[in-house]
Chain A
Amino acid sequence: MAGSGTAHLRPAEDVLLRVEDLVVEFPQGRGRVVHAVSGISFDIAAGETLGLVGESGCGKSTTGRAVLQLPPPTSGSVTLDGEDLTGVGSGTMRERRTKLQMIFQDPISSLNPRRTIGEVVAEPLGVWGPKKKDAQWETVARVLDDVGIDPGVARYKRPHEFSGGQCQRISIARALVMEPELIICDEPVSALDVSIQAQILNLLEDLKKEHGLTLVFIAHDLAVVKNISDRVAVMYLGKMCEISEADELYANPAHPYTEVLLESSPIPDPGIDVEDVDVLEGDLPSPLAPPSGCRFRTRCTRATDVCTTDEPQMRRISEEHYVACHHPLIEPAETVVSVGVGE
C-alpha cells in the first residue's frame, strides 16, 4: 500500500490546500527513524470535507499536524491558497495559523482547567483580534451561541463544570473564533458516547454551512467518517492506500485494506453473522522498519512477489476514485481499456 504518486491530485488553482509528497520522520537515536508519514499527497477544495481514516499508528494525526507545521514535515510541500507553508518563517507561520485551526480528541484535557470558558475561547483574539475585552466578548459570545453553549452561563465557568460533549463544543468555538478557512479535526468524536457523537457531527455539518468551512476530519471509525466527508482517504502505516468520493469508496472499495476495514466495523443488526467475516490478522508492522514494496503486504491476502519488490502507485479507477495497489478489487480504468473485456 504504498501509495505514492500524485495521479489523484486536482489542478492547483481549484484547491484550497494541496499537500504533496509529505514525509514526516522522527529520529530515535542510534540511526533509527520512525517513518510516520512517507510520501502522502492530497488536496482539498474550498468547502469540502476530507476524511482521513486508518488504524492507530497509520500516521493520520501526524499528517494533520504536519499541515499546521507542528512540527514542520521532513520533506514535501503544504500549499495553502497558493503559498507553500513549509518555506515560510516562524513569524509568518504564526500569522498563517489563524487561518488553520485544530480540534483535538480529548475535549477535557485540551482546555486549560484553570481558565474560565470566556478566557479560553477569547485567547486567540487576545493575540490577533481586538484588544478591548468588550469587543472580544462580543465575538466570543456569538461563537459560543453558534455551538449551542449559552454564553451568559458559561462565561465564568471552568472546563470541569462541563461534560465531555460540552467541552468539545467549547473547543469547536475556540477554533471558530479566528474565522479560519480550514479546521483540522483530530478524532473529535472518538472519546464521546454515540448519542453525543451524533450531536457533534450534526453541529459540525451545520457550522460548515454557516461559516463556509473546509474540514479535514481524522477518525478511525469508518461510519463516522462517511457521515461527514465528501472525500475519504484511507491510510496505512504512513502511506495512502485509496482516495475516493465517499459514497463510491464505501460502495466499491478497491483496496484490500479498505475492504477489511469496512467489514470490521460493527453494524447494529443482529442478523449479520459477525464471526463470519474476514479479520485482519496480526499487528501493524513497526514504523521503524516498514515492509518493502507495498507496506500492507504482510497482512494482505492478495499479496504476491511484485508487492514485495515494487511500491504500488496511485492509479485511477474512475473520475474521483484512485487506488494504490498491485491487485485491487476493481481494476483501474487504464487496464480495463487496454484489455477491452466487456462483460
Chain B
Amino acid sequence: MDTKLANPRIGGQETDEPLLTVDDLRTHFAVGGGTVKAVDGVSFALHRGRTLGVVGESGSGKTVLSRSIMGLNIAANASSSGSVRYDGEEMIGKTTKQMRLLWGAEMAMVFQDPMTSLNPVVKVGRQLTEHVRYHLDISKGEAKNVAVALLKSVRIPEAERRLDAFPHQMSGGMRQRVCIAMALACGPRLLFADEPTTALDVTVQHQILNLLAEQQRDRAMAMVLVTHDLGVVAGRTDDIVVMYAGRVVESAPTDVLFSELRHPYTQGLLWSIPRTTQPKHTRLNAITGRPPDLINPPPGCKFAPRCPYAQDKCREEVPELRSSGTPGHSFACHYPVGSPENEAAFQANLDAGVPAALSAAGRAAAKEEVGV
C-alpha cells in the first residue's frame, strides 16, 4: 500500500476489543404526525477487518442506522440515543465539528447513487483530494500525486487524464470507483457502503463488490455493507444483521444465517429472490403486503401483519432477541422457522386462509388491499 495514503493518526495496535460497538441505538425523527422511529433499539459489534451485512427492505431503517453511527443525521428534527462506541470512544453527542475530524479519516461512506453523490461542476481530481488536504495538510502538487495513486488503486485507466474530467464524462461504474477512491483516500478503518451497487448493472456490480473486498483486505478495514439483496451479501460478509421496521429481527454469521435461518422475515426475503437455477415461470413465494407505518407501528411483532405464521400472541407481545443456541445467532420471533410451534401455526393459518400463509405456500396469493 502506498504509505502516502496511510493516516498518521492511526496507531494500529491490535486488540480484541471490537472497533465499533453499537448498543441500543435509537434514532427518531419528529414529524407532523408524530415520531418516526426509524432505528429503534439496534445493537451489534463489529471487529477490525470484518464485514457486516445489514439487510432489509426500503424503510427498514438500514440507511438511517449507518448515517446515525457516522453522525450524519444532522437535521433539527432528528435525535439519536443509545451508545455508539468507535475505538473505545463514544460517538453519540459529538458535535458536527468534532465528527468532521473523523469523517473520511477514520470512517467513510460510499453512497448508493454515484450519479448524485459527486459534485457535477467540480473536476474529479479536486473532489478526490479535498478532504485529503483537509486531514493531512498537504500541498496541491502532493494532492495530485495522491489522487493519481488513488485512481490507479481502484483501477481506473488513464488516471492522470481523468483528474481533469467532470463526473458526467464517466460511466456509472467509473463514478462509483471514484466514490470508493474518495472514501478510501485518508485510509479509514471503518467503511460504510450503502447500497453501493443498486444503481449498477450486474457485471459492474460484480466488479465493484470485488474491488471493495480487495481494498478491504489490503487495508484491513472493517466494512458495513448495507443492501436489500441477500444475494449480494451471501459470499461477501462475515456476519449479517436483518432489519425490519427499525429493529434487528435476526443476526448471525453469514453461513449460519443461510443454513439455519429462524426468522420468518429472513425466510421471506430469501424466498422472494428469483434464481437462475429455478425453471422458468416458477411461482415466487412473495411476502405479502408492505413494510409498516413507522409512526404508528402495529403492536406486538411488527412483521405480524405480513407473516405467514403470525398468531394472536404475535399481535400482542413484542418478541425479544434471543439466542438460537448456535454461537452468534439470535432472532426475535415467537414461532421461529423450523420449530414444531411454527409448523402448527402455519397449518392453522393455512386452514384459516390467511393470505400471507397462502402466498408462502406458493398458492395464488389473495389480492393485496390498499390500506393507506
Question: Which A residues contact B (CB, under 8 angstroms)?
Answer: 55-56, 145, 148-150, 153-154, 157, 161-166, 169, 193-199, 201-202, 205-206, 220-224, 226-230, 246-247, 250, 260-262, 264-275, 277, 279-281, 283-284
Closest to A51 in B: B280
Query: Which stretch in B169-177, B325-333, B338-346 binds the other chain?
Result: B169-177
Q: Which chain A positions have C-beta within 8 A of B75?
A: none
Q: When chains A and B are docked, how far (Å) is the Cα of A163 from the Cα of B293?
A: 11
Number of interface residues of B (CB under 8 A): 58
- Give residues 196-246 of B contacting A (CB, 8 Å): 201-207, 209-210, 213, 228-232, 234-236
User: What is the chain B residue whose CB lies nearest that of A278?
Assistant: B206
CA of A157 to CA of B174 in the docked complex: distance in angstroms? 41
Q: Does B148 touch A at the CB level, under 8 Å?
A: no
In the bound assembly, the distance between CA atoms of A56 and B203 in angstroms comes to 10
Residue contact A264 to B205, C-beta cutoff 8 Å: yes
Output the least CB separation between B299 and chain A (Å). Answer: 22
A201 with B205, Cβ < 8 A, contacts A165-B290, A227-B284 known: no
Cross-chain contact A154 with B171 (CB below 8 angstroms): no
Assess whether B152 is interfacial by the CB under 8 Å rule.
no
Query: Do A154 and B370 form a contact, CB below 8 Å, given A202-B284, A227-B281?
Result: yes
Q: Does B282 contact A (CB under 8 A)?
A: yes
Stretch at the interface among B35-43, B183-191, B269-277: B269-277
CB atoms of A268 and B258 under 8 A apart: yes
Residue contacts A-B, CB under 8 angstroms, 13 given: A56-B201, A153-B371, A198-B273, A198-B284, A223-B275, A226-B274, A227-B278, A229-B280, A264-B202, A270-B234, A270-B254, A270-B255, A284-B171
Asked if B207 and A280 sit within 8 Å, CB to CB, the answer is yes
Inter-chain contact A271/B231, CB cutoff 8 Å? no
A194 to B236 alpha-carbon distance, docked (Å): 19
Q: For B257, give the chain A residue with the smallest CB separation.
A: A270
9 interchain residue pairs of minimum CB distance: A266-B231, A198-B286, A274-B235, A148-B367, A198-B272, A198-B284, A227-B274, A246-B280, A264-B206
**Closest residue of B by beta carbon distance from A152:** B370
Say yes or no: B276 contacts A226, CB within 8 Å: yes
Report the separation of the CA atoms of residues A271 and B259 in the bound assembly, to the nearest whole angstrom.
10
Chain A residues closer than 8 Å to B269, beta-carbon distance: 194-195
A165-B290, A195-B287, A270-B255 given; 20 more Cβ-contact pairs under 8 Å = A55-B204, A157-B372, A194-B269, A195-B272, A198-B273, A223-B276, A227-B280, A227-B281, A227-B282, A230-B280, A260-B203, A264-B202, A266-B202, A268-B258, A268-B273, A272-B234, A274-B210, A279-B203, A280-B206, A283-B173
Does B140 reach chain A (CB closer than 8 Å)?
Answer: no
Whether B283 pairs with A205 at a CB distance below 8 angstroms is yes
Alpha-carbon distance between A201 and B369 when the two chains are bound, in angstroms: 17
CB distance from A172 to the nearest CB of B (A): 13
Listed in ascending order, the chain B residues whose CB lies under 8 Å from chain A are: 57-58, 171-174, 201-207, 209-210, 213, 228-232, 234-236, 254-255, 257-258, 268-288, 290, 364-365, 367-372
> Which residue on A lies nearest to B282, using beta carbons?
A227
B369 contacts which chain A residues (CB < 8 A)? 148, 150, 153
Contact residues in A for B372 (Cβ distance below 8 Å): 153, 157, 161-162
* Interface contact B255-A247, CB-CB below 8 Å: no
Contacts of B370 in A (CB 8 A): 149-150, 153-154, 162, 166
Q: Cβ of B230: which chain A residues have Cβ within 8 Å of it? A: 194, 268
CB distance from A278 to the nearest CB of B (A): 10
Docked CA distance A229–B282 (Å): 10
Per DSSP, chain A at the interface is helix
Q: Which residues of B contact A262 (CB under 8 A)?
A: 276
Kindly list chain A residues whose C-beta atoms are within 8 Å of the C-beta of B232.
Answer: 266
- CB A147 to nearest CB in B, in angstroms, measures 8
**CA gap between A229 and B365 in the complex, in Å:** 20
Residues of B within 8 A of A229 (CB): 280
Instruction: Give A276 Cβ to nearest chain B Cβ, in Å.
Output: 9
Question: Are A205 and B234 interface neighbours, CB within 8 A?
Answer: no
Name the distance in Å between A58's Cβ and chain B's nearest Cβ: 9
CB atoms of A220 and B201 under 8 A apart? yes
The residues of B that contact A163 with a CB separation of less than 8 Å are 290
A250–B274 alpha-carbon span in the complex (Å): 13
B174 touches A201 (CB 8 A): no
Instruction: Assess the B368–A199 pair: CB atoms within 8 A.
Output: yes
Q: How far is the CA of A207 from the CA of B269 in the complex (A)?
A: 24
How far apart are the CA atoms of A145 and B282 in the complex, in Å? 24
Say yes or no: B364 contacts A279, CB within 8 Å: no
A149 CA to B213 CA in the complex, in Å?
43
- Asked whether A223 lies within 8 Å of B288 as measured between CB atoms, the reply is no
- Say yes or no: B286 contacts A199, CB within 8 Å: yes
Closest residue to B253 on the A side, CB-wise?
Answer: A270
Measured in the bound complex, the distance between the Cα atoms of B284 and A205 in whole Å is: 11
Complex: A165 Cα to B272 Cα, angstroms: 14
Contact call A279/B273, Cβ cutoff below 8 A: no
Partner of A198, one of B201, B254, B287: B287
Docked pose: A196 CA to B58 CA in angstroms? 10
Residue among B202, B364, B365 making CB contact with A265, cutoff 8 Å: B202
- When distances are taken between beta carbons in the complex, the residues of chain B under 8 Å from A264 are 202-203, 205-206
Q: Which residue of B lies closest to A56 (CB)?
A: B201
A206 to B367, CA, bound (A): 11
Residues of A close to B213: CB separation below 8 A: 275
User: A229 vs B284: C-alpha distance in the bound complex, in angstroms?
Assistant: 14
CA distance in complex: A148, B274 (Å): 21
CB atoms of B272 and A197 under 8 A apart = yes
Min CB gap B231→A, angstroms: 3
B282 contact set on A, CB distance < 8 A: 227
Residues of A within 8 A of B280 (CB): 226-230, 246-247
Asked if A199 and B365 make an inter-chain contact with CB atoms under 8 angstroms apart, the answer reads yes
| Distance between Cα atoms of A266 and B371 in the complex (Å) | 34
Q: A166 to B369: give the CA distance in the assembly, Å.
A: 10
Contacts of A223 in B (CB 8 A): 273-276
Contact of A283 among B171, B283, B285 (CB under 8 A): B171
